[in-house]
Amino acid sequence: MASMNQHDMEALLGEVCAEGETYSCMLWAIFATNSTSRIMLAKISDLPDAKPNMMPLSNTYAYVGLTEAHLNIVVVNSYNVRQVMDRFSIPLTAITRVEARNGLIMGKVLIVNAGDAKIQLEMSSFASGNRDEEQQAARSQLIKRLVELNRRR
């Protein structure tokens, strides 16, 4: 069984990165949202082929990347992490509110609102490989940058 890894993260996030943009950070997370929010996210996504997967997914794995202008999320099947379930490229201008909380066991939880769409990203060291320091740095950078969006509004 494959697990979350750097190579797949770079490849899958590379597919959704807008031309001319680069990632300031990339990490893996647990993605949670409801069907209504997935439909709304697909509508505001800058990806021309964004179609929400309507399978009942409550908490599943995702690769998350942050560029200067977008929050990119590639949701993968928790049992086969090479199977893409959803892809979103959310313009940072569409994000209306961000809240960071401590996780139940460890890590951080980031609640991101984009209009009426709400997603939750739980970021902890659950993936294989010895990348904890890089993941912690990416988590800190993502949280800091997105929470700063609250001040601009």
**Contact status, residue 73 vs residue 63, Cβ threshold 8 Å:** yes
Where exactly are the structural domains of the chain?
6-152
Tell which residue, 52, 44, 50, has the closest CA to residue 90: 44
pLDDT tens, per residue, the chain with 153 residues: 568 888 999 999 999 999 999 999 999 999 888 777 877 888 888 877 766 666 656 688 999 999 999 999 999 988 888 888 889 999 999 999 999 988 655 678 899 999 889 999 988 765 445 467 788 888 889 999 999 998 865
Query: What pLDDT was estimated at residue 136?
Result: 82
Long-range pairs of 122-128 with CB within 8 A, sequence gap ≥ 24: 122/29, 122/30, 122/32, 122/59, 123/27, 123/28, 123/29, 123/30, 124/30, 126/4, 126/28, 126/30, 127/3, 127/4, 127/5, 127/28, 128/3, 128/4, 128/5
* Amino acid at site 110: L
Let me know: does 115 contact 90? Beta carbons within 8 Å. no
Would the pTM count as exceeding 0.85?
A: yes
Both structure tokens of 15:
């597919």
Partnered with residue 84 across adjacent β-strands are 76
* DSSP-derived secondary structure for 57-81: -SEEEEEEEE-SSEEEEEEE-SS-T
- In 3-state terms, what secondary structure has residue 102? strand
Token readout for 151 is 């001040």
Helices (H), the chain: 6-16, 35-44, 132-152
Query: Is-contact 41 34, C-beta < 8 A?
Result: no
**CATH pick for 6-152 out of 1.10.260.40, 2.30.40.10, 2.160.10.10, 2.30.29.30:** 2.30.29.30
